[in-house]
Every structure is written in C-alpha cells, then in structure tokens.
C-alpha cells in the first residue's frame, strides 16, 4: 500500500501532486511592508483564544525565506503549490488604498514558482480578514462582500496572468460556523444570527468574486475549496437518520446548495431562513455561476445522533461516538473510507465539476531525532487516503489532483504551534526545516509523474 511505485501506478499521468499552505499560517512579517492587522492578529493576541497565546507574528518566517521555501517545494518534486493571498497585505484596511508592496510579494512568489516549473494554485481568502472591516461587522455585513469583490479584482489584475487556478474561499464552513457560531476561530462570535448573516454574505462574496475573476482573467480556472463533512448517523434509528440528513443540510447543503444549485436547502430555510439577512434579487444567480473545479479538504468524518432536548436549535444533533479508536494527535478519527463516501454522496446530490483534494493530512507531533523525523503514521494516513482517491478515479469520479496539508508545520489556528501537520518539520526557534519521512516518501511518489507522462498500470 505504501510502495510509491505501486500506488502511483493507480493514477493517470496528468494527476497533479502538490503541497498546500495558507498565508497567516506561515508568512509572519505581520507588520511589514504596509500589512495591517487581520482578525487573526487580534484574536490570537487575546487571552484564552489560542493555545499558549501563540500568534502569527513570525510563524514560519516564510515572508523572509521565500526563495528557500520555493527551493524546498521544488526539492519535493511536486508539480503544484497551493498558497493563499493575505488580503491585509493587498488592501490593508479592507477597503481604500491598495498596497503595492503586498502585491510585489505575491509577484515574487508566483514568478518563483514559474521559474521552478511549479503550478500556482492561489486561494483568495483563507481567513485573514482585514481587521478594519470588523468596524462594519466583518462577514456579517453585506458591504464586506463588495469589499472582497474589489480585492479579488485587484489581485487578479496583477497576478492572474501567471496563475494556474484560483479559489475564491477556503473552507467557508470554518469562516462561517466555526468563527461565528461555535466561537473557536476569529472573530470568536457565538451567535446563530451572526452566523446566518456571515453565511449569506460569504456565499455572495464567493459569487461576486467569481464574476470579478472572470472579468479580469476569462481563461483562468476558478473554483471554491469546501470542507464538507461526511456525516454518518450514530445508529439506524429513524431519528438518527433524520438527524444526519439535517446535519448534511446545515454543514454542507448551505454551501453546495447555493453554489451548485442556486438555492439554500429547504429544511434549513424553514428552520432558520427567517433569521437570515435579506436575500436580494439576483443574489442566488450571482452565487451559482458555473465553476471550473472545486476543492475538497478532508480529514475526518462527522458522526451525529438526534438531539432530544426540547427546543434544540436546527440541526438539533449531538455527537455520536467514533467507530475507530485510531486518532491523530489532534484527536481526529482516522477513517479514510469516509473520503470515498463523501465524494460519492456529494456527486450524487449535485452536478459537480472536476475535483482536487486541496487538503488532506494529519497532525502528528514527532520531533527531530538524529536529524530525521519518523512520522510513519502520517505517511500511512496519506497513502491510505490516496488509495481511496485511486478507487474513486477507477469508479469514474473526476479527481484531478492531491495537495498534502501541509508543506510544513505551521500556525494551527486555535491550537497555535502545538499541532504539526507538515511533511516538513519546522524548528520555530531556529526556523530550520527538516523533511520528514512522509516528505521523502511523498517525493518518491511525485517523482513517478515526470511532467504528467506517467502511464496508469
Ligand atoms: O490548518 C488547517 C487549514 O488552515 C485549513 N484546513 C484544515 C487544516 C488543519 O486543521
């Protein structure tokens, strides 16, 4: 299963292997060259929000180590790099003046990738909203969607000619529910009403962003990156099955429905629609413009049961026990089969375009010992999920590539630097990078695809 040659032989020659990161998690240099604070700068500096009160001030110092990190990516032999652009570097106040120095940084990044013959997959929003926009209500304010559109247009005008693909958003589930309902991510809101506003404004921003991208770069493949939950009912009972269906609508349907069908799920609307912001004429058409691809970020399944509590709010579910006690260091159940079940389920429900696995990986916190990091469980995790991906391809699903999360250990949001997802280890005191066992293995796998001419075996 983990022999790179045997695994590689199960993929078509044009399948893309890549690595992924996000701006706030690796860049550091938060106060340099005109960048202004994002909501994550504020949130991580507040007591009690992020483990150890870690912040992104230095992170992996990628901003200053760009060329070395691009060499590192090249040395892994991958064909593509997925990164995100920091809105607070480009339009530091969210609206108003454009910061040329911010654009210059991403110019260097994209040119550096081109020079190394690595495809550039950019994400426009991976959670670092300019803090100034909170003055209007951040993602709960419709105005933010228009500010995002202008930001998207600005980035595309400068970089679009050299990108290979662009995503409007990364994991809107996190920037909507996790950030506005569950309070775990910035801005740490815990209100259903705020979350419902953030939901529609985010979906609208996605649609406005697609229009801006198409206007500037009509030939650039545009997509969105979603982290759909694969939801298993805790039991066969009618109640639990219905709970799983509600959970699907709440966690997935509110993004897939608008984007791929132009509508919110009916059950969701009848339960919570009255608390949503006004859906203006034309909004749903804006949101549901055709996409060229979508990205799936998958780590672990969700298991739910019916919440019997009186007055329980939609989706009225409780967590059900995991079926496997194999867990990563962050406590997430390892269950590769759910990736297959998820792709089959969403394709059965929606007409979806080509799909990239834009993130998949595992938190294991092994240290460097004698110059090496033996992270065999991560290697196994990636191999098992790739094996499921190969099965999906054999079944005819249009899976076009896989990006390991992550290129290197980085700022893991509310977990700070405690949780390590990299296939490259980062010593935060010295910034020394050490390729882990999984990274060496990933390089062997990627090497089987020289310029995409691998023959399926
Ligand atoms: O680190 C995150 C990433 O920013 C978004 N997807 C999940 C990863 C692991 O939690």
pTM (predicted TM-score): 0.98
Best substitution site from 173, 184, 359 to test ligand 1's pocket, by max atoms within 8 Å of Cβ?
Answer: 359
Q: 90 is written with which tokens?
A: 């480009």
Q: Residues of the chain with pLDDT > 90: what percent?
A: 97
Enter the DSSP assignment of 392.
H
For residue 126, which atom of ligand 1 is closest to its CA?
4
How would residue 457 be classed by pLDDT, with cut points 50, 70 and 90?
very low
Which residue out of 171, 189, 333, 448 is catalytically annotated?
171
CA of 308 to the centre of ligand 1 (A): 32
- DSSP letters spanning 237-265: SHHHHHHHHHHHIIIIIHHHHHHHHSS--
Given a cut of 80, whether residue 2 has pLDDT beyond it is yes
CA of 94 to the centre of ligand 1 (A): 23
* Known catalytic residue at 395: no
For residue 227, which atom of ligand 1 is closest to its CA?
6
For residue 127, which atom of ligand 1 is closest to its CA?
4
Give tens-digit pLDDT for 23-51. Answer: 999 999 999 999 999 999 999 999 999 99
Which residue out of 27, 216, 359, 412 is catalytically annotated?
359
User: Using CB atoms within 10 A of its CB, is residue 281 exposed (0-12), middle (13-18) or buried (19+)?
Assistant: exposed
Q: Residues of the chain with pLDDT > 70: what percent?
A: 98
Q: What is the mean pLDDT of the chain?
A: 97
CA of 456 to the centre of ligand 1 (A): 31
Given a cut of 80, whether residue 454 has pLDDT beyond it is no
Distance CA 289, CA 222 (A): 10
Question: Which architecture does CATH list for 4-228+292-298+328-446?
Answer: Alpha-Beta Barrel (3.20)
């Amino acid at each position: 299963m983990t022999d790179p040659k045997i695994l590689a032989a199960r993929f078509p020659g044009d399948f893309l292997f890549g690595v992924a990161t996000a701006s706030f998690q690796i860049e550091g240099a938060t106060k340099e060259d005109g960048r202004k604070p994002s909501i994550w700068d504020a949130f991580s500096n507040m007591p009690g929000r992020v483990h150890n009160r870690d912040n992104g001030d230095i992170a992996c110092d990628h901003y200053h180590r760009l060329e070395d990190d691009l060499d590192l990516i090249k040395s892994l032999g991958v064909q593509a790099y997925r990164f995100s652009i920091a809105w607070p570097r480009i339009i530091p106040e969210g609206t108003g003046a454009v910061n040329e120095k911010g654009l210059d940084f991403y110019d260097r990044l994209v040119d550096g990738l081109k020079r190394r013959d690595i495809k550039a997959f950019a994400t426009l929003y991976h959670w670092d909203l300019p803090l100034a926009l909170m003055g209007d209500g951040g993602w709960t304010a419709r105005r933010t969607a228009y500010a995002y559109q202008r930001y998207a247009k600005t980035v595309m005008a400068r970089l679009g000619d050299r990108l290979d693909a662009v995503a409007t958003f990364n994991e809107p589930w996190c920037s909507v529910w996790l950030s506005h309902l569950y309070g775990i991510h910035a801005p740490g809101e815990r209100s259903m009403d705020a979350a419902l506003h953030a939901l529609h404004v985010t979906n609208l921003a996605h649609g406005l962003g697609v229009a801006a991208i198409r206007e500037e770069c009509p030939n650039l493949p545009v997509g969105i990156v979603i982290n759909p939950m694969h939801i298993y009912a805790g039991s066969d009972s009618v109640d639990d099955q219905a709970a799983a269906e509600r959970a699907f609508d709440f966690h997935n349907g509110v993004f897939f429905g608008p984007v791929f069908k132009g509508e919110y799920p009916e059950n969701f609307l009848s339960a919570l629609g009255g608390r949503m912001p006004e859906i203006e004429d034309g909004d749903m058409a804006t949101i549901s413009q055709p996409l060229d691809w979508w990205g799936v970020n998958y780590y672990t399944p969700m298991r739910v049961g019916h919440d019997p509590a009186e007055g329980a709010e939609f989706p009225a579910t409780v967590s059900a026990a995991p079926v496997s006690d194999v867990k990563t260091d962050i406590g997430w159940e390892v269950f590769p089969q759910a990736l297959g079940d998820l792709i089959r389920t969403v394709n059965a429900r929606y007409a979806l375009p080509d799909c990239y696995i834009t993130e998949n990986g595992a938190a294991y916190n092994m240290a460097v010992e004698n110059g090496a990091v033996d992270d065999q469980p991560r290697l196994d995790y990636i191999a098992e999920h790739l094996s499921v991906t190969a099965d999906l391809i054999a079944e005819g699903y249009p899976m076009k590539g896989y990006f390991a999360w992550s290129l290197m250990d980085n700022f893991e949001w509310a977990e700070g630097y405690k949780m390590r997802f990299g296939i490259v280890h980062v010593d935060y005191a010295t910034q020394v990078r050490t390729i882990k066992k999984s990274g060496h293995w990933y390089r062997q796998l990627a090497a089987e695809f020289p310029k995409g001419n691998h023959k399926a075996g």
